[in-house]
């Protein structure tokens, strides 16, 4: 049995995909996971990742977005 808590839900401006970030906790114990659900029409892509993978992913995304904000005036708006 698992407990799922939605952390954030938003739409991507280009492509209109719906992204939902959830915390997944196993009631009987074990590690928590971050579930990333991407919905494109009727199709779903789901990733369940551990905290170290989430940290790595977020660091790469932050580095990339920081370089893009300087290049694209509309990126941060």
pLDDT digits (tens, 9 = 90+) for 11-50: 999 899 999 999 999 888 888 999 999 999 999 999 999 9
**Choice among 2-11, 36-45, 68-77 with the minimum mean pLDDT:** 68-77
> What's the pLDDT at 56?
98
Both tokens assigned to 60:
């790469």
Residue 74 — pLDDT band, cuts 50, 70, 90? low
**Where in the sequence is the domain holding 61, given as residue range(s)?**
2-71
Q: Rounded mean pLDDT of 1-17?
A: 94
**Under 8 Å CB-to-CB from 22, ≥6 apart: which residues?**
4, 5, 6, 7, 34, 35, 37
Rounded Cα–Cα distance for residues 21 and 36 (Å): 5
Q: How many domains does the chain have?
A: 1
In a domain, 76, yes or no: no
Side by side, which strands form the sheet with 33-40? Answer: 2-11, 18-26, 33-40, 43-49
In a domain, 31, yes or no: yes
């Amino acid at each position: 049995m698992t407990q799922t808590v939605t952390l954030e839900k938003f739409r991507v401006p280009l492509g209109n995909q719906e992204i939902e970030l959830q915390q997944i906790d196993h009631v009987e114990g074990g590690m928590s996971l971050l579930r990333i659900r991407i919905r494109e029409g009727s199709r779903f892509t789901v990733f369940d990742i551990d905290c170290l993978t989430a940290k790595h992913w977020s660091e790469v995304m932050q580095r990339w977005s920081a370089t893009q904000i300087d290049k694209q005036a509309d990126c941060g708006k």
